[in-house]
Amino acid sequence: MSNSQQQVAGILGETFANTKILVMFTIFALANLVGFSIKDFNLKICYWLSLTLVMVSIVNFNMAVSFYLSLRNEKGIDGVRGSKGDKGSKGFPGRCELNLDARCGIENCTSKIQDRLMTQCPHYAGVVNKRDYERTQEESQILDRYKKWITIISKDCQGKLSVKETGYFDEIFDNAEEFCLN
């Protein structure tokens, strides 16, 4: 950058705001020269009122553009949530291609197995509902066996692809009396 360019940059400034201020002062100085050269009093009043309106309009336009430029990319406050949309169409039965979790088996196997055990094995419900310190040694061993069995069935359940949930659990609990430990 040459010396003359540095002087011009120092006078005008490197930002657009400094340039705007310099242009506004130049226009104001020219307007004053024109205003002082008018001899007729009525024309002088008309000129200054018109100039005032023009200046107010320019400042208003300048502020509008400045606010627009500063606010156009800012995110506003969140509005009220809109009404619920229509329900989407039903997908193809037995397909897992659009499953984003990459799971096509039965979900929440462990809790579903425990719920089924609660209803079909009354002794299990009684043991589970007791606190740890209320259980006898025998009941703790029975609960450990139930937990091992639930883990095995849960792994099998999660590995099943495209299986109907009710059919799977009906098949598992078909002979529930064999599994209910008393």
The answer as to whether 155 is a domain residue is yes
3-state DSSP percent of the chain in helix, strand and coil, to 5:
65, 0, 35
User: Is residue 78 included in any domain, yes or no?
Assistant: no
Average pLDDT, the chain: 77
CA distance 93 to 7: 76
pTM > 0.75: yes or no: no
Are residues 113 and 175 both part of a single domain?
Answer: yes
Domain final position from 69, 101, 125: 69
Tell the residue number behind the tokens 């490197």, with chain if given: 14
Range of the domain at 50: 3-69
Domain count, the chain: 2
In a domain, 142, yes or no: yes
Reported as a single tens digit per residue, the pLDDT across 45-93 is 999 999 899 889 988 998 898 888 888 888 888 888 888 888 777 765 5
